[in-house]
Amino acid sequence: MSNRVFWVVAFAVGAAAFALSLAVENEFYIRAAFVVLQFLVLATAWNLLGGYTGYVNFGTAAFFALGAYGSVVMEKLAPLPIPALVLVGGVVSGAVGLGMGYLTLRLRGAFFAIATLALAVVLQTLITNWDFVGGSRGAYIIAPAEIELLGHRIGYIRYLLLVMLLLSVIAVATARSVERSRLGFGFAAIRDDEQAAEAAGVPTLRLKLIATTLSGALMGMAGAPYPFYITYLDPASGFNLNYAINSIAMPMIGGMTSWVGPIVGALLIGTIQQFAIVTSFLGASPAVNLLVVGALLVAFVILAPRGIVGMMARLKGG
Amino acid sequence: MVSLDLLLSAIVAGILLGGFYAAMTVGVSISFGMLDIVNIAHPAFIILGSYIAYIVNARLGIDPVVASILAAPLFYALGALIYQIYYVAFERRGDEALRGLAFFFGLLFITEVALILVFGVDYRFVETGYVGTTLHLGPIYLPLRMLVPFICSLMLVGALQLFLTRSFIGRAIMAVSQDQLALQLMAANPVRIKRIAFALSIASAGVAGALLIIIQPVEPSIGRDYIGRVFAICVLGGMGSFPGMVVAALLLGVVESITATFYGPSWAPAVAFGCLLLTLAFRPTGILGRRA
């Protein structure tokens, strides 16, 4: 399937999913779907850097929170419609990704990973000390109950779901396009043997910077609608390490070498988590959820390093 | 006008704090600096050590430092086990850069959440005779709560340094960090040597945990705040060098303490990260380091 056809198909799938969601009465399912799709975007964004070039980013929560706080700042300064806020979040997080990458990517991969981990702690410190966005007390965002879209009034949460669906389509289609382009082959060369790639003339630093910027921007875009979903944003929820662990675990469990893996991982793990929270399955609390994700991550990296997609391929190929 | 007394106490408090940071970092200097194992779960094991010291102290009334030394063999065994899994699943496959990192990240979460599930998110602290006492030397205050961990920490680092430079196994560990292939040609088993070294680094985390809970009350998620610090110190100190690491730890302690005194403690975590980024950007070999 050519990339152009894929983009069309992806948008069609997104539109169909939205049409389907309009038939769902219970708003709880809409909220759950929003969270799962949010993880889908984050996992796909993480995989653009982690899966394709092999550089581990532990700072998903930081990039996500930057997008979310970008929305809070804009809401206070000059309220914009959500699609514009998504762009703001993308620009801010993409710029931070570029800066981080520029400072640390010339060194070994481990330094980049450690720096992203520390970035989350420090950005949280900065936001906690920044009174304009509420500091440690957090900020309230008033979201309207309904919004008019193409002459129809729909619930605001459905509008947020539509935004997140669009973001998912864009993220997945971008990932697939990158995967099959010269850029993607360059990424794969870096992942397999960076020195050999460098020697063969692949501009490794430039490619790595493209990957961090793109990945960071998508994470920020995923964060931008979040304040309107949660209506109350504080540093602890914006920088929740939940995002970091899930965005790593989902591609690793699903499979990292193709765009399908993060989707499989996010839909599977995300849905299980939502299900577990509602039904209190096995007495599940958010803490137990994290424990399960952590244990699954460790189990998969040890026992099934290619993830679910790799296992399927092996079953098929024999 | 900055008060001289205030500045002096901030520096003294920073040196005491920095000395303690050396105990937290010495394990990372071994695992990351010498063995090239990026154990980002190290602070989680430190917190585990804090809780073990807390339980032993609360149940049996034993001093936390003594308790941590008693628990050190347990941590040693845990470290040996983790290295064995790491070696079989990642190092042997040449897969440590991506999945090995994710493995330790998963361990970090499992340890932290397990502690939350068992103990909750309440702060825990230990009771010892000296926690409340403070020595006065002119204008300088020396709280024993800080002084005892400082002395224990320097003793721990000194003991490990002696072990590495004087004993046969210790020299083998230094050798494996320099050239694993050459060690193999000398008919020594690098995997065994690395297992011992990694186990030692985890054992040191247990002791550092006991020192931490003497200094301040502990809850499971504070470990994360130390990830930036310990790696910043390790890199700043020149990776595997202990003297460089101690200098870097003291330096970071003083800078943090001054920041906390004059700008407020909520800014302190940003200092370590700033140091780490600046080091990585301008001097990745560290202040006393030689290796590229």
Determine the Cα–Cα distance for residues A55 and A66; give it in Å rounded to an integer.
21
Q: Residue A178: pLDDT above 50?
A: yes
Cα distance from B234 to chain A (closest Cα, Å)? 11
Model pLDDT, residue B241: 85
Which chain A residues have a beta carbon less than 8 Å from that of B106? 245, 249, 294-295, 297-298, 301
A113 in B contact zone (CB under 8 Å): yes
Residue A193 Cα distances to A202, A251, A302, B67, angstroms: 11, 21, 22, 47
What gap in Å lies between CA A143 and CA A141, rounded to an integer?
6
What is the DSSP code string of A221-235? HHHTTHHHHHSEE-H
**Of A132, A141, A144, nearest to A75 (Cα)?**
A141
Paired tokens of B28: 């990372």
Which of B78, B62, B80 lies closest to B70 in space, CA to CA? B62
- What is the nearest CA distance from A33 to chain B, expressed in angstroms? 25
Write out the DSSP string of A5-23: HHHHHHHHHHHHHHHHHHT
Q: How far is B283 from chain A (nearest CA, A)?
A: 11
Q: CB of A20 within 8 Å of any CB in chain B?
A: no
Which pLDDT band holds residue B45 (cuts at 50, 70, 90)? very high
Token pair of B127 as six digits: 């009771």
B291 pLDDT higher than 50: no
- Tens of pLDDT, residue by residue over B65-87, are 999 999 999 999 999 999 999 99
Mean pLDDT estimate for chain A: 87
B101 vs A56, A107, A245: nearest CB:
A56
pLDDT at B97 over 80: no
Mean pLDDT score, A146-150: 76
The reply to whether A284 touches chain B by the CB within 8 Å rule is no
**C-beta of residue A14 within 8 angstroms of C-beta of residue A169:** yes
* Sequential DSSP letters for A35-68: HHHHHHHHHHHHHHHHHHH------HHHHHHHHH
| Residue of A47, A56, A119, A247 for testing the chain B interface, max B β-carbons within 10 Å | A56
pLDDT at A174: 93
Q: What is the pTM of this model?
A: 0.88
pLDDT of A183-200, one tens digit each?
A: 999 999 988 888 898 898
User: How far apart are alpha carbons A7 and A313 in whole angstroms?
Assistant: 24
Say whether B284 and A111 touch across the interface (CB within 8 A).
yes
Q: Is A137 on the interface with B (CB under 8 A)?
A: no
Chain B residues close to A125, C-beta within 8 Å: 266-267, 269-270
Q: Which residue has the tokens 């040597």?
A: B193
Percent of all residues in chain B with a pLDDT value above 70, rounded to a whole number: 96
**Are A121 and B110 inside 8 Å of each other by CB?**
no
- In the three-class reduction of DSSP (H, G, I as helix; E, B as strand; rest coil), residue B128 is classed as coil
Contact B208, B153 (CB under 8 A): yes
Q: Which residues contact A70 (CB under 8 A, 6 or more apart)?
A: A85, A88, A89, A92, A93, A220, A223, A224
B283 touches chain A (CB under 8 A): no
DSSP state of B30: I
Query: At A26, phi and psi to the nearest 5?
Result: -70, 120
Best B99, B119, B252 member to test A by mutation, with max A CBs in 10 Å, is B99
- Asked whether the beta carbons of residue B277 and residue A103 sit closer than 8 angstroms, the reply is yes
Contact by Cβ (8 Å): B276, A115: yes
pLDDT at B292: 41
Residue B284 host element (H or E):
none
Segment A288-317, tens digit of pLDDT? 888 888 899 999 988 888 888 888 888 887
Dihedral-angle region of residue A190 (phi above 0 means left; psi in -120 to 50 means alpha; beta otherwise): alpha
Do A111 and A208 touch, CB atoms closer than 8 A?
Answer: no
* B232 in reach of chain A (CB within 8 A): yes
What helix, strand, coil percent values describe chain B, rounded to 5? 75, 5, 20
pLDDT in tens, A48-66: 998 899 888 988 999 999 9
Backbone angles phi, psi at A60, to 5 degrees: -50, -45
CA A176 to chain centre: 15
pLDDT at B39 over 60: yes
Q: What is the pLDDT of residues A234-282, one digit of tens each?
A: 888 888 888 888 999 999 999 888 899 999 999 999 988 888 777 766 5
Mean pLDDT, residues A93-99: 93
Average per-residue pLDDT for chain B: 87
Residue A107 has pLDDT above 60, yes or no: yes
**Segment A89-113 mean pLDDT:** 86
Q: Which two structure tokens, joined as six digits, stand for A202?
A: 């692949």
Q: Residues of A with CB below 8 A from B274's CB?
A: 122
Q: Which segment of A117-131, B53-67, B186-200 scores lowest on mean pLDDT?
A: A117-131
pLDDT(B122) > 70: yes
DSSP state letter for B136: E
Mean pLDDT of A15-41: 88
The amino acid sitting at A251 is P
A43 contacts chain B (CB < 8 A): no
Q: Are residues B266 and A302, on separate chains, in Cβ contact within 8 Å?
A: no
pLDDT at res. B287: 61
Per-residue pLDDT of B158-173, as tens digits, reads 999 999 999 998 998 8
